[in-house]
Amino acid sequence: MIEEINTVFEKLSFFFETRKFADLRILTLDLEPADIANFMENNLDEKEQLKFFRLLPKELASDVFVETDTDTQERLIKAFTDRELKEVIDDMFLDDAVDLIEEMPANVVKRILKNADPENRKQINALLEYPDDTAGSIMTPEYVSLSASMTVEEAFDKIRRTGLNKETIYTCYVTDRKKKLTGVVTVRDMLLADKQELIAHIMDSTVITAFTLDDKEQVALKFSKYAFLALPVVDKEGCLVGIVTVDDAVDVIQEEATEDIQKMAAVLPNEKPYLKQSIWSIWKARVPWLLLLMISATFTSMILSHYEASLAAVGGGLLYMFVPMLMGTAGNAGNQTSVTVIRAIALGEVEFKNVFRVILKEMLAAFVLGLTVAVACFLKLMFIDNLYYEISVTVALIVSAVLLLTIVMAKLVGCILPLIAKKCRLDPAVVASPFMTTIVDVLSLIIYCSIAIAVLG
Amino acid sequence: MIEEINTVFEKLSFFFETRKFADLRILTLDLEPADIANFMENNLDEKEQLKFFRLLPKELASDVFVETDTDTQERLIKAFTDRELKEVIDDMFLDDAVDLIEEMPANVVKRILKNADPENRKQINALLEYPDDTAGSIMTPEYVSLSASMTVEEAFDKIRRTGLNKETIYTCYVTDRKKKLTGVVTVRDMLLADKQELIAHIMDSTVITAFTLDDKEQVALKFSKYAFLALPVVDKEGCLVGIVTVDDAVDVIQEEATEDIQKMAAVLPNEKPYLKQSIWSIWKARVPWLLLLMISATFTSMILSHYEASLAAVGGGLLYMFVPMLMGTAGNAGNQTSVTVIRAIALGEVEFKNVFRVILKEMLAAFVLGLTVAVACFLKLMFIDNLYYEISVTVALIVSAVLLLTIVMAKLVGCILPLIAKKCRLDPAVVASPFMTTIVDVLSLIIYCSIAIAVLG
């Protein structure tokens, strides 16, 4: 019964090529829409994709469409008749329709909206109003609403009547006449209760909600905290306007982690899968930071040139040797801290109010870490490097002491920058990592040069 | 109805302090276990925590216990009577019990197992056998199993009888007499079907499964791909041994992203929330890479000292000035690529078989990026830096050309290292980022020094 996906794909190809369309249709009914979309994209050319899509059973078509990538979606829509387009759009969950519209060029959007059912169009337009990154932008109004005076049996009847078009039926929302959210009840509660029990008696009336304008990342964190399958979204008056389902929360969690990782690595966020990114979009995402960081490295050049003569006077070429090691270690130490703090902020573990606790913790850690690394460096300089170069105890002491200082300095910068960014409502991931390296580079160079010249001069 | 969590916490404190325990109990019934655990940890001292925990309604106690942090759990268990411990453990889902046991010291584990129900103990021991990071280690055997010959009504009866103790009832698994998985059916399908319909007719017999030893990260990716609420886990014979639920998949996704971010920043993975990490555990997580990277920077010192005399002979102190900029840009360029590729591997977008496509893409991008940055650098050297230092066209050309070369080199290293690591079943996140910086530093120095000396010498 359980077949490898490749075997299934071979069968699909075979049925398609030999025009056994009835078999093809039966086979697709048993497959996941994501796999069918995958098959279309990787095994068929553009013409075949359209032909294949038209062969899909009606109830599957829009689910498969949603799973294809943006380019395929655009191509398919352009090839669709108005009627086909209308069917696909009307069958889609509204949040998926909104996602689609946000990715399509203006003329395609126009055609989509023109062909959508008037009621759907109204709701889609309302959803499009919510800013990106808010709960409103990822919610769907397709939830099951019950009233507190229903019996469990009546509630099940309503679910049976309307459930087919709801994104989830397992969590149902109880609202009053003004659409105010008054409680939540799960199908599990209902199945385990008596049929004649009133919803009012089994519903949970303390409901965790999100507001329409809440950050979608915060919404996703609620899913990981509470293990919900769905979360109701209310407006300022407490009226239920939509729900976010766990599958969308999973997408948000993945996307936000990817974005943060990209930002930490000095890449502008790019949502497309790597292999589908064009060279041009890669260039656009990477060149700003690469240029900015190249130009800001001017500061390190200025410092080196400023101290150059004095450094050579007191230590000859020897002192230059340690510059990359000192700058590198400072960068690594700072990065360890900033990345840790950025992630803790993203997971909601650390807020700006914790700033002093974080600084205290980091300074203690920095001191112990710095001491360990400085002692190791001193021993290495005295017993290993000394075999090749003549390193005096004074120089070894200077280098080790500077190492300790720069580690403490780097970790201080590394924990303060993301917290300040957060406080100023900037993105900690962007301000911190690449900026930080430059600041830490400059500071560590100044510390090294000034101490070396002061002691040896 | 919808109250701010802080108001609720104040009420809890008030009821607890004024000994209004009946009110307290009623209030907790309406709260989420995660919030109650949060309240206990942040508002009560150790003695109060135990007292508060004992006041909780029975049906909530073990849910709250599961949500408290490891230290609190250990303290509570040590204070529990054997009977209390037994109640908490027997009420827990088995996967949660396994997670607990994996975190507790040996003597506590012994007591937990001694007090568990014999049937549960057997299953817990079986689950403990699965290696960390596998599907087996995050699954639970508490699923609803149905047989294909049941009617929908009979299936609902079984869910009502046994559902209370199952981690999810919404996805039910159809097995034959030998426990072989033959299909999957959701409560939604059942609610929308006729009561007399056979499960065999409405079940989906092409089931996406995981094997017990599959990587749990791969399992989590299936959730984001297919939007499942649960995924069945089968052994080699195709027998159903457990299920993974979406809440556990969400946890895995969060943890794996955090781990990858930590590894990329040269920190050993640490599962505890940041504010709960001790200085000692921070030290342990950060010192290995910091030491290793400090020591490996010896190579850059060796190269600098090797070329020192020649570099000074051909260019005076001037050529040193550009070393930090060149090394920094190479590091940034390499990081952009390695981090992008590592994330793409983690998301399953890129595999080793794509190695040539990735290299081609990166080399093209590197050339365009390198050219942009090199031209910008040349203009900056000629028209800005030249105001302060005397930079000849030859030197500016050398620096810019080296910049282009190092960017291409860094991006080549940055895309090949993670893919090789993946191929060798090493962790791309570890091998790539910190190692990469050192390799790229060394190579960029060699390129710079040798070209400068060759051209100017």
Return the CATH number at A219: 3.10.580.10
The answer as to whether A286 is a domain residue is no
CATH of residue B15: 1.25.60.10
- Averaged over B191-205, what is the pLDDT? 93
C-alpha B60: how far from chain center: 29
The answer to whether the Cβ–Cβ distance between A372 and B287 falls below 8 Å is yes
pLDDT band of residue A184 (cuts 50, 70, 90) is very high
Closest-CA residue of A relative to B356 is A275
**pLDDT tier at A5 (50, 70, 90 boundaries)?**
confident
Alpha-carbon gap, residue A31 to B401, rounded angstroms: 54
In a domain, B187, yes or no: yes
* Of the candidate ranges A110-124, A322-336, A423-437, B182-196, the one whose mean pLDDT is the lowest: A423-437
Residue B380: inside a domain = yes
pLDDT at residue number B244: 96
Residue B3: per-residue pLDDT: 58
Both tokens assigned to A381: 């300089």
Which residues from chain B sit within 8 angstroms of residue A300, using beta carbons?
324-325, 328
Give pLDDT tens digits for B280-320.
999 999 999 889 888 888 888 888 888 877 887 887 667 88
Both A128 and A149 in one domain: the answer is no
pLDDT at position B250, please?
Answer: 94
Buried b (16+ CB within 10 A) or exposed e, B119-129: ebbebbeebee
Comparing alpha-carbon positions, the chain A residue that sits nearest to B171 is: A170
CB within 8 Å: B266 and A329: no
Residue A423 and residue A301 share a domain: yes
Instruction: Answer whether residue B288 is part of any domain.
Output: no
Q: Which residue segment(s) compose the domain that B209 sits in?
A: 145-250
**Average confidence score pLDDT of chain B:** 90
Predicted pLDDT at B137: 92
pLDDT confidence tier of residue B1, bands split at 50, 70 and 90: very low
Question: Which one of B188, B275, B302 has the shortest CB-CB distance to A349?
Answer: B275
Contact between chains at B192 and A160 (C-beta distance less than 8 A)? yes
Chain A environment of B164 (Cβ under 8 Å): 192
Domain end residue (candidates: B105, B133, B161): B133
The dihedral through the CA atoms of A288, A290, A291, A294 has a sign that is: positive
Q: CATH number of the domain at B391, please.
A: 1.10.357.20
pLDDT per position as a tens digit, A110-151:
999 999 989 999 999 999 999 989 999 999 999 999 999 999
Mean pLDDT within A256-261: 91
User: Which amino acid appears at position B392 of this protein?
Assistant: S
Contacts of B71 (CB under 8 A, 6+ apart): B276
Say what the pLDDT of residue A34 is. 92
How close, in Å, is residue B206 to chain A by CA atoms? 6
Q: Which of chain A's residues have a Cβ under 8 Å away from the Cβ of B224?
A: 247, 250-251, 254
Task: Tell me whether residue B287 is in a domain.
Answer: no
Residues 61-90 of chain B whose Cβ lies under 8 A from any Cβ of chain A: none
Interchain contact A205–B (C-beta under 8 A)? yes
Structural contact between residues B97 and B89, judged by C-beta atoms closer than 8 angstroms: yes
The whole-model pTM stands at 0.88
Nearest-CA distance from A440 to chain B in Å?
Answer: 12
Torsion of Cα atoms, A222 then A228 then A229 then A233, to 10°:
-50
Q: Tell me, what's the pLDDT at B253?
A: 94
Per the domain annotation, does A260 fall within a domain? no
Contact B250 A204 (CB under 8 A): no
Chain B residues with CB under 8 Å of A294 CB are: 325, 328-329, 373, 376-377, 403
The verdict on A444 and A304 lying in the same domain is: yes
Which residue in B333, B337, B297 sits closest to B432, CA to CA?
A: B337
pLDDT at B356 > cutoff 70: yes
Q: Which residues contact B39 (CB under 8 A, 6 or more apart)?
A: B9, B12
CB contact under 8 A, A305 and B294: no
Minimum Cα–Cα distance from B445: chain A residue:
A324
Residue A129 sits in the same domain as residue A222: no
Please tell me the predicted confidence (pLDDT) of residue A44. Answer: 92
In terms of domains, do A209 and A169 share one? yes
A171-175 and B171-175 strand pairing: unpaired
Question: B113 vs chain A: nearest CA distance in angstroms?
Answer: 26
Amino acid at B76: L
**Chain A residues 252-281 within an 8 A CB cutoff of chain B:** 253-254, 257-258, 260-262, 264-267, 273-275, 277, 279
Three-state DSSP state, B134: strand
What would the DSSP string read from start to end of B213-249? TSBHHHHHHHHHHH--SEEEEE-TT-BEEEEEEHHHH
SS3 B55: helix
Closest chain A residue to B161, measured at CA:
A192
Interface check for B144 against chain A (CB to CB < 8 A): the answer is no
- Does B340 contact A at CB distance below 8 Å? yes
Residue A144 is predicted with a pLDDT of: 94
Binary contact (B298, A325; C-beta < 8 A): yes
**ipTM, two decimals:** 0.88
Kindly state the average pLDDT of the residues A434-444.
Answer: 86
**How many Cβ atoms are within 10 Å of A356's Cβ, its own excluded?**
8
A348 assigned to some structural domain: yes
> Which B positions 375-404 lie with beta carbon below 8 A of chain A?
376-377, 380, 385, 388-389, 403
The per-residue pLDDT for range B243-286, each reduced to its tens digit, is: 999 999 999 999 999 999 888 888 888 888 888 889 999 999 99
Answer yes or no: is A443 within a domain: yes
Task: Read off the pLDDT of residues A28-44 as tens digits, 9 standing for 90 and up.
Answer: 988 899 999 999 998 99
Interface test with B, best of A290, A322, A364, A390 (most B CBs within 10 A): A290
Residue-wise pLDDT for B393-417, tens only, equals 999 999 999 999 999 999 999 999 9
Instruction: Mark which of B211, B232, B250 sits at the end of a domain.
Output: B250
Contacts of A385 in chain B (CB under 8 A): 298, 301
Contact A191 B163 (CB under 8 A): yes
Mean pLDDT for chain A overall: 90
pLDDT band at A1 (very low <50, low <70, confident <90, very high): very low
Query: What is residue A307's predicted lDDT score, i.e. its pLDDT?
Result: 85
* Cβ of residue B418 closer than 8 Å to a chain A Cβ: no
Same domain, B58 and B205: no
Whole-number Å distance between alpha carbons of B57 and B366 = 62
**A123 and A150 fall within a common domain:** no
From B220, B250, B280, give the residue that closes a domain: B250
Q: Are B329 and A294 in contact (CB under 8 A)?
A: yes
- Give per-residue pLDDT as tens, B35-83: 999 999 989 998 999 999 999 998 899 999 999 999 899 999 999 999 9
* Cβ contact B324–A327 (<8 Å): yes
In this predicted structure, which of A159-168, B223-232, B350-359 has the lowest mean pLDDT? A159-168
- According to the model, what pLDDT value does residue A316 have? 67
From B252, which residue of chain A is nearest by alpha-carbon distance? A224
Q: Any bridge partners for residue B211, and if so which?
A: B234
Q: Which of B182, B275, B438 sits opposite A1 (nearest CB)?
A: B182
CB B310 within 8 Å of CB B455: no
Q: Are residues A64 and A38 in contact, defined by beta-carbon separation less than 8 angstroms?
A: no
Q: Do both A432 and A311 map to the same domain? A: yes
Are A116 and A176 contained in the same domain?
A: no
pLDDT (mean) for B188-207: 92
B135 in contact with chain A, both atoms CB, cutoff 8 A: no
Q: A126 and A153, same structural domain?
A: no
- What's the rounded Cα separation, in Å, for the pair B270 and B255? 10
Helix boundaries (H) for A70-173: 70-79, 82-91, 94-103, 106-115, 118-128, 135-138, 152-162
- State whether A261 and B265 contact (CB < 8 Å): no
The tally of domains found in chain A comes to 3
Task: Return d(Cα A183, Cα A146) in angstroms, integer.
Answer: 9
Q: Check residues B162 and A435 and name the one with the higher pLDDT.
A: B162
Contact B264 A267 (CB under 8 A): no
Q: Which residues pair with B244 in a beta bridge?
A: B231
Inspect the interface and report whether the beta carbons of B369 and A287 lie closer than 8 Å.
Answer: yes
Q: Tell me the shortest Cα–Cα distance from A177 to chain B, in angstroms.
A: 15
Q: Are residues A68 and A116 in the same domain?
A: yes
Give how far B363 is from chain A: nearest CA, Å.
10
Residues in A closer than 8 angstroms to B191, CB to CB, are 156, 159-160, 163, 169, 187
For chain A, the maximum distance between any two Cα atoms, rounded to a whole number of angstroms, is 94
The B residues from 156 to 185 touching A (CB cutoff 8 Å) are 156, 159-160, 163-164, 169-170, 181-183
Asked if residue B107 and residue B166 are part of one domain, the reply reads: no
CA distance B443 to B439: 6
